[in-house]
Amino acid sequence: MTSAPTKSAVSSNDRIRTVQRRTLTVLSAAQIVGGVGVAVGLALSSVVVDELSGSTVISGFAGTATVLGAALLALPTAKAAGRGGRRMGLALAYVAALLGCALSVAAITIHNWPLLLAGLVLVGGGSAGNLAARYSATDLSPRGHAGRHLSLVVWAATVGSVAGPNLAEPADRIGVDAGLVAKAGPFAFAALAFALALLIIVAGLRPDPLKLARERDGAPPASATGRRTLRRAWKTLRATPMARKALVTIAVSHTAMVSVMSMTPVKLHHDGSNLDVIGLVISLHIAGMYVMSPVVGWLADKAGTVPVLLIGMSLLLAAAVLAGTAGHDVRQITAALVLLGLGWSCGLVAGSALVSESVAVEGRTAVQGLSDLLMNVCGATGTVAAGAIVDRLSYGTLGMVVGVMVAATGLWLAATHRRAA
């Protein structure tokens, strides 16, 4: 006969539920304003680099720089979280993004595209922070609820991320009226957004969810878990096959998404589309990334993470085919970008939930940091390749290459899942 829970245990569980509700609220608020910062810069970065450098190949490095920055800041963010809690890790990421926006404004002012790329690397800290926030949502999640809690924070980015690209044009006008050069205003606006996200995290994320999770689970102190982040992550992965499967699928999903997405504004710009059209297409793409994430999270918890990952691979494949055969049809390109976002959502939400639930709390930040490092390194590599493919071959060829990559990953995932079943 099972004994009734003690009063102290009930009190502890009530406290954890209360803290988790507060944590989800704070993280969601930070995601909204942080999403604005990321999306405003994302909508124009490749176009600005294209104009300053006069090269389509170099314009591809705009997306590469931002993704590379997110990769470079992934492990420092995870290490800071391992040592001082989620609040410290997220604050580090948003401070870097704020500094990157300031550097980008200066670079556009003096018409220096290499300096702009350097600024965009730091702006990648905003993406690193937004990605780390999703894992922060799972520290206190009950078993079987990681997907739903994670997806709520991912979904919160919808408001800022969808609005962000459409704010680029008015932010540019306001910036010009305030004395900034053309195209610098959106980056100044993004700096304000990241400053607000930083304030929300520092003031609101108390108590720290990771510290409380360690207390609850009796995990080692932070000083012990914060060292040798990369070594700890590889050691944990060797012992956790499901986490390895999740990391591969997240990385491929992200690579496919950023490769096609980063070159789409340049494609549309060269086809004669104005900033309003480009902003609308990117907004719909970002809506695809985030709007359905709560449904994806619920499905991952109910049906299983691997089936949802396979759905994501199918959506990404469909997106690659549509993009590759669109020609100058803006409507077909838009449909491809929406499917691309939905496929990415399945890969990120289900894969991240699988990481969180398959790794113990003492090794969690290390593996999560490695996951974000790998996905962004792969994404950065993909954008470099995407720029070269579009410049030397075509946007259609890029769709074909991405489709082959996604199809191969989907077949591998399905085969390994059947063997494990």
Q: What was the pLDDT predicted at 1?
A: 45
pTM value? 0.80
Query: Residues with Cβ < 8 Å from 402, sequence gap 6 or more?
Result: 256, 259, 260, 316, 320, 323, 324
Helix intervals (H) in 180-274: 185-204, 209-217, 222-225, 229-238, 241-270
Cβ contacts of 171-177, under 8 Å, gap ≥ 24: 171/40
Q: What was the pLDDT predicted at 345?
A: 93
Alpha carbon separation from 419 to 125, 243, 246, 310, 412 (Å, rounded):
39, 16, 16, 15, 11
User: Structure tokens of 48?
Assistant: 């600005």
Task: Report the chain's C-alpha Rg in angstroms.
Answer: 21
pLDDT tens sequence for the chain (421 residues): 445 555 555 557 788 889 999 999 999 999 999 988 888 877 778 888 888 888 877 887 787 788 788 888 998 998 899 888 999 999 999 999 999 999 999 999 999 999 999 999 999 999 899 889 989 999 998 888 888 999 988 888 777 766 777 788 888 899 999 999 988 999 999 999 999 999 999 999 999 999 898 888 776 655 444 456 777 788 888 888 888 899 999 999 999 998 998 888 888 877 777 777 787 888 788 888 888 889 999 999 999 899 999 999 999 999 999 988 888 888 898 899 999 999 999 999 999 999 988 887 877 888 888 988 898 888 878 878 888 888 888 888 999 999 999 999 999 999 887 776 6
Q: What was the pLDDT predicted at 404?
A: 94
Taken in order of first residue, the domains within the chain and their CATH numbers are 13-420 (1.20.1250.20)
